[in-house]
Amino acid sequence: MRCIRHKLGGDTIKHYGTSNPSPILPPIDFKPLPYRGPSYEKAQSMQSNNVFPQRQMYDEPLLLHQGKMQWLFDHTGKRYLDMFGGIATVSVGHCHPRVKEAIARQTGILSHVSGVYEHPKMYEYVEKLVSKMPGELKTVYLVNSGSEANELALQLAWLHTGNQDVISIQNCYHGVSGNLHGLSGLSAARFNNMPAGHSHHHAMCPDVFKGIWGGKSCRDSPVQAQRSCECAQGHCEAADKYYGQLEDLFAYTIPRGGVAGFFAESIQGVGGVVQFPKGYLKKVYELIRSNGGLCIADEVQTGFGRTGEHFWNFQSHGVTPDIVTMAKGIGNGFPMAAVVTTPAIAQSLQSAFHFNTFGGNPIACAAGQAVLEVIDEEGLQQNCQDVGTYFLDKLNGMRREWKIIGDVRGKGLMIGVELVDGDPQDENDAASPLNSRAVSRIKNDCLKMGLLIGVGGPRLNVLRFMPPMCVTKDDVDFTVAVLRRTMQNFFEAKYQNNL
């Protein structure tokens, strides 16, 4: 077949024609069960008439039927590589046999008692969980979701310090329930008819790709931003400057009486896998504590070995929080979450009241314990490090080929690819974000070829990859092949004035 090459926007496009086959999924030895649920048409009708509205991921909604490790199957039996994992929620693999067995075994022994009773599975799980925590982080409150965990952490900060004001970072996401509506720093997660609270403040986001400062020496990642920076070896100037913005917040906005707490994701997830400059969080923690506040690490998406180098990604910043919140991968999709803090801070809850009917449920604890065992025994944290670094290197190679890729970032198997429109005139200026219509086309094109990915960032122009932690380098190769094809398809459509 004749190959036609042309240049567009700095990218060389290889056009092979419509007969060129799509990338082939890696082979597996598994056959899904026959689908016996409602028809696709009935499911769409019920979604419209009987289920609260949800934002759909794709132009044609995906009706999923079965999962097996990193694979998902739709109602027709078509197989997909899941490179999003329910937003980092499926940690050890869809329907992992060890987790399934633990749930089934516990269901036959004791399925539920409320938190006012004791049961051994909770103590077995808590003992294993706190063995993963540094310092005095030894007291656990089990809850059901990341939002509830962050609500409880916020309540603890208020009770323990006696202060009201709380700081988070622009572009952050900590949930949208109750007080979290004000804590989250993304406009898409805030609504005019929901009070945001007068005591929530957002520090400038220290984004070394789009922000005012930072560049090619600032991130704790195998891949750096391309623009230059003034950082010296072992010292990040960008971290100092973003920290100075936080000091201004204390000088002009925070009451002199002090602050209750500071919330931060160690890598911003929904905000587009944004990494802070090296040394930033360490300086911030010192400032917060010197003003009477607690430091809260939101590890909902970054925890449980996902970032590879450490079990908790706050450890990569060289800090130990006062409170850690965790969810998503904690139960491999089973609804559970946790708040972990010091015994002294936990005692502050005695002066108030918080109750959870299902927190510490025996089945949830069995699932959580199995997840921790699988991560250790199957070496999944190391797999995140190895496969994630391999993936980042492949994506960085694509960035050199395709000007549409403005930035590649992340650690382990938490990776973001920021798509931009055109090439910036100056290497120190980020190009404009790619428009949502174009990003949607790329995402839907991936779906057609059997690849599931996420999208994030305030302008929804960041491709997000947070797969089950059991993915392989073969899976990465397939993902890269699909991405290359979607880029080719996008530029061909743009070249032909169809986009």
Read off the pLDDT band of 193 (50, 70, 90): low
For residue 239, tell me if it sits in a domain: yes
Tokens 């009706």: give the residue: 63
Mean pLDDT of 466-474: 98
- pTM comes to 0.93
Res 367 pLDDT > 70: yes
**pLDDT computed for residue 164 by the predictor:** 95
Mean pLDDT of 117-135: 97
Read off the pLDDT band of 14 (50, 70, 90): very low
Q: Which of 336, 359, 377 finishes a domain?
A: 377
Rg (CA), the chain: 23
For residue 39, tell me if it sits in a domain: yes
274 and 364 fall within a common domain? yes
127 and 101 fall within a common domain? yes
Q: Which of 377, 404, 432 finishes a domain?
A: 377
Res 376 pLDDT > 50: yes
Mean pLDDT of 316-339: 98
Res 318 pLDDT > 60: yes
**pLDDT computed for residue 413 by the predictor:** 98
For residue 90, tell me if it sits in a domain: no
Of 223, 259, 273, 275, the closest CA to residue 463 belongs to: 273
267 and 303 fall within a common domain? yes
Read off the pLDDT band of 63 (50, 70, 90): very high
Of 456, 472, 305, the closest CA to residue 372 belongs to: 305
71 and 101 fall within a common domain? no
Res 107 pLDDT > 70: yes
Q: What is the CATH number of the domain that holds 225?
A: 3.40.640.10
d(CA 146, CA 298): 9
Read off the pLDDT band of 253 (50, 70, 90): very high
Range 114-118 contact pairs with CB under 8 angstroms and sequence separation of 24 or more: 114/357, 115/142, 115/355, 115/356, 115/357, 115/359, 115/360
For residue 91, tell me if it sits in a domain: no
Read off the pLDDT band of 2 (50, 70, 90): very low
For residue 312, tell me if it sits in a domain: yes
For residue 88, tell me if it sits in a domain: no
Mean pLDDT of 142-159: 96
**382 CB-side CA count, 13 A:** 5
Read off the pLDDT band of 423 (50, 70, 90): low
130 and 45 fall within a common domain? no
**pLDDT computed for residue 276 by the predictor:** 97
Mean pLDDT of 265-277: 97
**pLDDT computed for residue 231 by the predictor:** 86
Q: How many domains does the chain have?
A: 2
Token digits of residue 9: 């926007």
Range of the structural domain that residue 470 is part of: 4-83+380-495
Mean pLDDT of 265-284: 97
**pLDDT computed for residue 3 by the predictor:** 37
104 and 189 fall within a common domain? yes
164 and 250 fall within a common domain? yes
178 and 41 fall within a common domain? no
Q: Do 334 and 363 form a contact (C-beta atoms < 8 A)?
A: yes
**pLDDT computed for residue 353 by the predictor:** 86
Q: What is the CATH number of the domain that holds 435?
A: 3.90.1150.10
134 and 24 fall within a common domain? no
Q: Which of 348, 377, 406 finishes a domain?
A: 377
386 and 372 fall within a common domain? no
Mean pLDDT of 362-373: 98
303 and 406 fall within a common domain? no
**pLDDT computed for residue 197 by the predictor:** 63
Res 246 pLDDT > 90: yes
273 and 350 fall within a common domain? yes
**pLDDT computed for residue 116 by the predictor:** 85
Least confident segment among 91-100, 180-189, 224-233, 291-300: 180-189
Share of the chain above pLDDT 70, in %: 92
For residue 463, tell me if it sits in a domain: yes
For residue 89, tell me if it sits in a domain: no
Res 1 pLDDT > 70: no
Q: What is the mean pLDDT of the chain?
A: 92
Distances from the Cα of 348 to the Cα of 155, 180, 200, angstroms? 9, 20, 21
How far, in whole angstroms, is CA 168 from its chain's centroid? Answer: 17
Of 345, 339, 313, the closest CA to residue 324 belongs to: 339
252: exposed, middle or buried (C-beta count within 10 Å: 0-12, 13-18, 19+)? Answer: exposed
